[in-house]
Chains A and B, each alone.
Chain A
Amino acid sequence: MNILRYPLIKATLKNRWPQFSIMLIALAGFLLAILSGLFGTPVGSRNFGIVFVWIAWWAILMLVAVPFLGRGWCSICPIPAPGEWLQRGAMLGPQGQAKGFGRRWPKRFRNIWLQNGSFLLVALFSTVILTQPRVTAIVLAAFLFVAVGASLVFERRAFCRYLCPVGGFIGLYSQLAPVEVRVVDTDVCKAHTEKTCYTGSAGGYGCPWDVFPPGLVKNTYCGTCMECLRACPHDNIALNLRSFGADLSVERNRKLDEAYKAFIMLGAAAIYSMVLLGPWGSLKLAAYSVGTLSWLAYAASFLTLILLALPGLFWLTVWTGKKLSGSIQPIKKLFIAQSYSLVPLGLSAWVAFSLSFVFANFSYVLVALSDPFGWGWNLLGTAGISWTPWLTNLTPFLQLGVLVGGFIWATTTSRKIAVEKADNAQALKLSTPVIVFCLAFTLTLMGLLVA
């Protein structure tokens, strides 16, 4: 169902001001997070930078924005904004003089391998990043500088599309969201020689994400910025409500870099659940003590598990399915295709992991709002609120529900993918080992989070 049929929604999304205003508020919060990280208290739970980024923003992102809006966050993300304004020579519509070199992103890097790498880099240091305000500030500032640099050297949003460690997994999980930007009628696009949705017009910029809207079949790289809606002179852009996970059934454009992103996210969720939420203090200290021998062992284990063990085990799983079913499909193709069944499994793992600490620590948000730097301010009268864990009785029930739901979703996805090139009986044999893999992972996470 195309919700742009409703004039109010269409007018709101076509108008730049609502999006621009939210982005400005987000940018103010982002800059405050950097400043409080640099100059505020080093106590993480009293510092706006830590509390807002890793509790408030993370909760909104993983529990609401990604599952329900896909790349909705990307449409108002403040990180690329300054660079984009410089690149365009304007903060709103296409009216300024473009700046920068405007180079095309190198062809060999037109994939998400760099994003996989940048996520792993952040992930290895995450225990320090998400507990030390100054480190969080430095990382956020680095994101901002790299994004500005990328905007000045390359055309469009090269940072978001190819470098952002967060954008990579948001894109992967946006395939599950019940919304999509698509064209209404591709024949209209064929007849439209100017292709202003990609090249730009007086009404809107050409797609900042370097996506050709008439060719959109998945959400992965569409930033939902709605520039195509503004640039299309034929009213041919739709914002559809659809079933959850519709993109997973799309055979086209399944790639190894995206498959690896699924493994990275799946493995990271399990490792964080064990290290950060488990009762093992030595593991936490190893992950925290960057540069020590124990941290090196942690980092080596982290990378080995995520980059070798998990994909290797999954490869064996798919190979077993291939042998059982007698499928003539190449193993690499089956491996990549079946790895998309791990996308819902991974999102459910991250939601369950996030539930463990987000509500328990949410009362810090009220304190940080009142005293963002931890300097003894009390702007809203909430600085004195003591730590109060919320919903801790309910959390394990929610986690189990989410994990079982993710398992069901993953297994039905695996069977749907298997049946694309096989009859039902053969598909069942092909996907059964994958289903067992998903079951084993789900039970492991239940053990880590609820047991």
Chain B
Amino acid sequence: MKRLVISWVVLGVAALLVAFAPFNQQPSTENTERFFHVEAGDFAYSPGVLTVNPGDKVTIELVSTDVVHGLYVDGFDVSVTSDPGQPATLSFTADRSGTFRLRCSVTCGALHPFMTGKLQVGSNFLLWRGIGLAFVALLGILFIRKPSLTTEF
């Protein structure tokens, strides 16, 4: 019984560490300027995934190739709109690490709600925390928790 309690406590501490340990990537002090030319058309962004480092100053030049499109960056709450063939730019500092969805902010047609892309800033620690928690749970399930229901074999 005592061993079981200790096991659960160790597992709980491990889960808390994985969930809340402050290992977010610090923004770089170099503040590299990153420029992306992004074309928006056919309900997609090209390139669909933008990768930068924490602390980078990001400039996105959005060019719509068919109808009016927008680009909103989750987590940074910034957006830009481009008329067809008219480039528009958006600048912000990527001061948070993680993966952020890009969404079209202007109703552009049937698939508008699903016109998305990705901004990858450094490592996605949130994902790693999720994976870590899943493995901590796995350890608990396989090696500690016994199912309550038992019958004869």
Question: Is A403 within 8 A of B113, CB to CB?
Answer: no
What is the 8 Å Cβ interface bit string for chain A, positions 407-451, against chain B (1 contact, 0 not)? Answer: 110011001101111111011100010010001001100110011
Question: Is A400 within 8 A of B138, CB to CB?
Answer: no
Q: Which residue of A lies closest to B118 (CB)?
A: A279
Q: Interface size (B, Cβ < 8 Å)?
A: 48
* Alpha-carbon gap, A439 to B99, bound state (A): 22
Contact of A44 among B48, B113, B130 (CB under 8 A): B113
CB distance from B30 to the nearest CB of A (A): 26
State whether the Cβ of B34 lies closer than 8 Å to any Cβ in chain A.
no
Which among B1-9, B39-47, B55-63, B83-91 touches the partner chain?
A: B39-47
What is the 8 Å Cβ interface bit string for chain A, positions 98-109, against chain B (1 contact, 0 not)? Answer: 000000000000
Q: Give chain A residues whose Cβ lies under 8 Å from the Cβ of B107.
A: 43, 45-46, 387
State whether the Cβ of B74 lies closer than 8 Å to any Cβ in chain A.
yes
Q: Give chain B residues whose Cβ lies under 8 Å from the Cβ of A284.
A: 43-44, 111, 114-115
CB distance from A6 to the nearest CB of B (A): 30
CB distance from B46 to the nearest CB of A (A): 7
- With A397-B126, A415-B147 as contacts: A277 and B114 at CB distance below 8 Å: yes
Bin chain A's interface residue count: 35 or more
- With A393-B74, A400-B130 as contacts: A421 and B151 at CB distance below 8 Å: yes
Binding site of A, secondary structure by majority: helix, strand, loop or mixed?
A: helix
* Alpha-carbon gap, A403 to B127, bound state (A): 11
State whether the Cβ of A278 lies closer than 8 Å to any Cβ in chain B.
yes
State whether the Cβ of A193 lies closer than 8 Å to any Cβ in chain B.
no
Question: Is B44 within 8 A of A450, CB to CB?
Answer: no
Q: Give chain A residues whose Cβ lies under 8 Å from the Cβ of B130.
A: 400, 403-404, 446, 450
Q: Give chain B residues whose Cβ lies under 8 Å from the Cβ of A278.
A: 116
Question: Is B113 within 8 A of A281, CB to CB?
Answer: no
Which one of A279, A450, A451 has the greatest number of beta carbons of chain B within 10 Å? A279
Task: Find residues 1-52 in chain B having any chain A CB closer than 8 Å to their own CB.
Answer: 42-46, 48-49
Question: Is A421 within 8 A of B133, CB to CB?
Answer: no
Q: Give chain A residues whose Cβ lies under 8 Å from the Cβ of B93.
A: none
Question: Is B147 within 8 A of A404, CB to CB?
Answer: no
* Alpha-carbon gap, A356 to B110, bound state (A): 18
* Alpha-carbon gap, A298 to B75, bound state (A): 32
Q: Which residue of A lies closest to B137 (CB)?
A: A408
CB distance from A408 to the nearest CB of B (A): 5
Q: Give chain B residues whose Cβ lies under 8 Å from the Cβ of A407.
A: 134, 137
Question: Is B103 within 8 A of A443, CB to CB?
Answer: no
* Alpha-carbon gap, A196 to B13, bound state (A): 55
- With A284-B114, A288-B110, A415-B141 as contacts: A404 and B134 at CB distance below 8 Å: yes
State whether the Cβ of A282 lies closer than 8 Å to any Cβ in chain B.
yes
Question: Is A281 within 8 A of B127, CB to CB?
Answer: no
What is the 8 Å Cβ interface bit string for chain A, positions 208-228, against chain B (1 contact, 0 not)? Answer: 000000000000000000000
Task: Find residues 118-137 in chain A having any chain B CB closer than 8 Å to their own CB.
Answer: 127-128, 131-132
Question: Is A357 within 8 A of B114, CB to CB?
Answer: yes
Q: Give chain B residues whose Cβ lies under 8 Å from the Cβ of A356.
A: 101
State whether the Cβ of A276 lies closer than 8 Å to any Cβ in chain B.
yes
Question: Is B44 within 8 A of A280, CB to CB?
Answer: yes
- With A44-B110, A416-B149, A451-B99 as contacts: A281 and B134 at CB distance below 8 Å: no
Q: Give chain B residues whose Cβ lies under 8 Å from the Cβ of A277.
A: 114, 116
State whether the Cβ of A91 lies closer than 8 Å to any Cβ in chain B.
no
Question: Is B110 within 8 A of A131, CB to CB?
Answer: yes
Question: Is A393 within 8 A of B75, CB to CB?
Answer: yes
State whether the Cβ of A53 lies closer than 8 Å to any Cβ in chain B.
no
Task: Find residues 10-33 in chain A having any chain B CB closer than 8 Å to their own CB.
Answer: none
CB distance from B14 to the nearest CB of A (A): 13
Question: Is A404 within 8 A of B48, CB to CB?
Answer: no
Q: Which residue of B lies closest to A436 (CB)?
A: B138
Given A411-B141, A446-B134, 18 additional A-B pairs, CB 8 A = A44-B110, A276-B114, A280-B44, A281-B42, A281-B48, A288-B110, A395-B74, A396-B99, A411-B137, A411-B138, A412-B145, A415-B145, A423-B153, A432-B142, A439-B138, A442-B134, A450-B130, A451-B99
